[in-house]
Amino acid sequence: MKIWIDVRIGEDWWFYKNFVEEIITKLWELNSEHNITVFRKEALPKHPIPFVRDQKIKKIYEREKFGLMLFFDVPVPHGYAWDYILIIESLKEVFFPKKKYFSRKLFQHQLQKAIAKSQIVTVMDTWSTLELNEQLNISEEKIRKIHGFFPKTFPLTPQTLQTDIKTKHNLKWNYLIYDSGNELHNNFERILRALKKIEEAWHILYIIILCEATSQDLEIRNKALEYGISEKIIFLWKAPTELEKLYYLQSSWVIFSSIYESFPFSLSKALSYNVPIFANDISSIKEVMGGSIYYLDPLSLYSMTDTIIDAIMHPKKPDYSDVYEKFSSEKSALELMKLIEMKN
């Protein structure tokens, strides 16, 4: 059977882009009978997977008889009328959209239309299954869940830089890393409020922000001034890889306060650098991370600060071996291949 894979990711999100490339590579390695070709702007680096430049898609539609297409979070192109499997990374744009009203409604319409015509809709967490069923009225029989995984994108190569981060920024004690965005669902102001309460409890704690959008946000900077904690926050942009590695390896924790996550790709760097993680106690994160991280109460600020202070007083080394064992690219590719075989 001819299998075509559209890997023109809708939003060029780095973590998800690497996930898609790795699962396609695994599919190619596992495949023994199908003819696989990908639509992409350029060939996958270091891999012999056949590819077609995306601008030639319409011509191919006119001459090919498609067996099956896999779409990764891109609108199904106009004129495509064959079987396909839709792989959905997240429904964030439905519930926490960045787009303006008309664009948002158009996106939701395109998504629902694509889902309605697909043979199978694939997600990576139980919560997204429930959202599709309850919010978009998609039949459970049509939804399949596969395991996600954290792509191998941060190899711990030997360090050549020798920089003490605390000395570099004149920090008197431990620091957290924050490397997420400043969108509504990221809920970053809550971290500022927690830092204020921790300071009131006579604990010194700093946050280093490694995100351009968050560091540029004037509202966040004003809130830090309002809460009297601006000296405890280091606003930085994304650091070069080698320096970024030092920031992570010398940090005490990485913190997230998102109130919405699907498969938590945002934890990828923290896992790769083996840094303890604070994250909200929401079902999609707990489904993946189990008991390997510190969970913050998404409703109670007092509980959140107590958890952080307790971790400061009783630090422990993380163990993510179970996470990597349960969520691997080979397992994801095998599960996706089974769905393909169902359509063969």
pLDDT digits 0-9 by tens, 309-328: 999 889 899 999 999 999 99
93: part of which helix (H) or strand (E)?
A: helix 92-95
Of 117 and 281, the structure prediction assigns the larger pLDDT to 281
> Per residue in 172-184, pLDDT tens?
889 999 998 888 8
Dist. CA 337–CA 331, nearest whole Å: 10
Residue 63 vs residue 20, higher pLDDT: 20
Which residues on adjacent β-strands are paired with residue 216? none
Whether the Cβ atoms of residue 93 and residue 104 lie closer than 8 Å to each other: yes
Predicted TM-score (pTM) of the model is: 0.88
Span 261-273, pLDDT tens digits: 889 999 999 999 9
pLDDT of the residue at 318 = 94
* Structural domains in the chain, sorted by start: 2-149+328-343 (3.40.50.2000), 165-325 (3.40.50.2000)
Phi and psi at 150, nearest 5°, equal -100, 115
Confidence at 341, pLDDT banded by 50, 70, 90 = confident
**pLDDT grade, residue 99 (50/70/90)?**
low
How far is it, in rounded angstroms, from Cα 1 to Cα 32?
A: 11
Both structure tokens of 331: 């397992």
